[in-house]
């Protein structure tokens, strides 16, 4: 099997890092590798803000729910969807800016995800570990203020990067039969397969490093989808210029 496939299948989130720094040349190569990802209509709608100041990292760690690895990782970045940069040139070519359509928001957000994941794969290929930080969206307005983000830009997620100081197990994913459908969407056999998967997840949580809560996947996601999730996001995004027309 391809070593790249093996690498991708072995992904884990890392939350403990050594003190080893990442060489500047390697860091630049990783960003460049991320840039090489696909980008819809060549928008290149991603901006990465690298956070080095201790006080800024500490503030973001608190806003993200007390995630201490934001402070301890060798590198911490916030990946932003950016429609301002390309939008700057509409007037130059005597064109009206229509970048507040929902489709443009989707394009920029997908660009960010693709860039980050390409960078992550590159990082893991040289022995680095990562952890995505969605918790920055707990208070995106405060994060945006810290980063001085202008209208047309919003923080999608953070990313911790460094050399791992732990070796966690790989978290099992849903069975292929559940997520891969032929020709049309159907749920034939899904409940049985997910029931077996729930058993695996319970065992994973019970036995993983440090122990865990032992709940199933269906319990976990039903709780997620039965709660209001960051209801401030729509208002924040509209304030940043994403009107969802």
- The stretch 16-39 carries a mean pLDDT of 98
- 189, 113 Cβ separation under 8 angstroms: no
List pLDDT tens digits, range 177-206. Answer: 999 999 999 999 999 999 999 999 999 988
Q: Give the bridge partners for 66, in sequence order.
A: none
**pLDDT recorded at residue 173:** 97
- 80, 237 Cβ separation under 8 angstroms: no
- The stretch 124-135 carries a mean pLDDT of 98
Domains of the chain: 3-170+229-239 (3.40.109.10)
SS3 at position 209: coil
Local confidence band at 122 (pLDDT 50, 70, 90 cut-offs): very high
Q: Percent of the chain beyond pLDDT 70?
A: 98
**pLDDT recorded at residue 213:** 74
Q: Around Cβ 162, how many Cβ atoms within 10 Å?
A: 24
List pLDDT tens digits, range 164-179. Answer: 999 999 999 999 999 9
- The stretch 87-111 carries a mean pLDDT of 94
Is the pLDDT at 209 greater than 60? The verdict is: no
Q: In terms of Cα–Cα distance, which of 75, 77, 57 is closest to 67?
A: 57
Is the pLDDT at 12 greater than 90? The verdict is: yes
Q: How far apart are CA 217 and CA 200, in angstroms?
A: 9
List pLDDT tens digits, range 62-90. Answer: 999 999 999 999 999 999 999 999 999 99
Q: Give the bridge partners for 161, in sequence order.
A: 75, 130
Angle formed by the axes of helices 24-35 and 102-125, nearest 10°: 140
SS3 at position 114: helix
Q: Any residues with CB less than 8 A from the CB of 242 and at least 6 apart, and which?
A: 83, 100, 105, 154
- 23, 116 Cβ separation under 8 angstroms: no
- The stretch 223-240 carries a mean pLDDT of 95
**pLDDT recorded at residue 68:** 95
Q: How far apart are CA 180 and CA 167, in angstroms?
A: 30
Is the pLDDT at 208 greater than 80? The verdict is: no
Is the pLDDT at 212 greater than 80? The verdict is: no
- 80, 162 Cβ separation under 8 angstroms: no
Local confidence band at 210 (pLDDT 50, 70, 90 cut-offs): low
Is the pLDDT at 211 greater than 70? The verdict is: no
**pLDDT recorded at residue 53:** 97
């Amino acid at each position: 099997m391809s070593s790249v496939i093996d690498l991708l299948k072995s992904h884990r989130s890392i939350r403990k890092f050594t003190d080893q720094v990442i060489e500047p040349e390697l860091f630049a190569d990783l960003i460049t590798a991320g840039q090489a990802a696909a980008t819809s209509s060549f928008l290149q709608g991603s901006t990465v803000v690298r956070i080095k100041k201790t006080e800024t990292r500490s503030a973001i760690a608190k806003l993200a729910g007390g995630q201490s690895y934001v402070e301890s990782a060798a590198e911490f970045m916030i990946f932003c969807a950016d429609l301002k940069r390309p939008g700057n040139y509409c007037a130059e070519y005597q064109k009206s800016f229509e970048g507040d359509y929902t489709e443009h928001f989707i394009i920029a957000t997908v660009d960010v995800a693709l860039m980050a994941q390409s960078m992550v794969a590159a990082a893991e290929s040289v022995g680095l570990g990562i952890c995505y930080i969605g918790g920055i969206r707990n208070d995106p307005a405060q994060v945006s203020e810290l980063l001085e983000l202008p209208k047309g830009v919003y923080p999608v997620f953070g990313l911790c990067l460094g050399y791992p100081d732990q070796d966690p197990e790989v978290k099992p994913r849903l069975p292929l039969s559940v997520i891969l459908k032929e020709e049309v969407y159907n749920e034939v056999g899904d409940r049985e397969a997910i029931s077996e998967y729930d058993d695996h997840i319970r065992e994973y949580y019970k036995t993983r490093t440090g122990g865990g809560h032992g709940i199933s996947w269906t319990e976990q996601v039903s709780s997620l989808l039965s709660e209001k999730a960051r209801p401030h996001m729509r208002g924040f995004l509209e304030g940043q210029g994403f009107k969802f027309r």
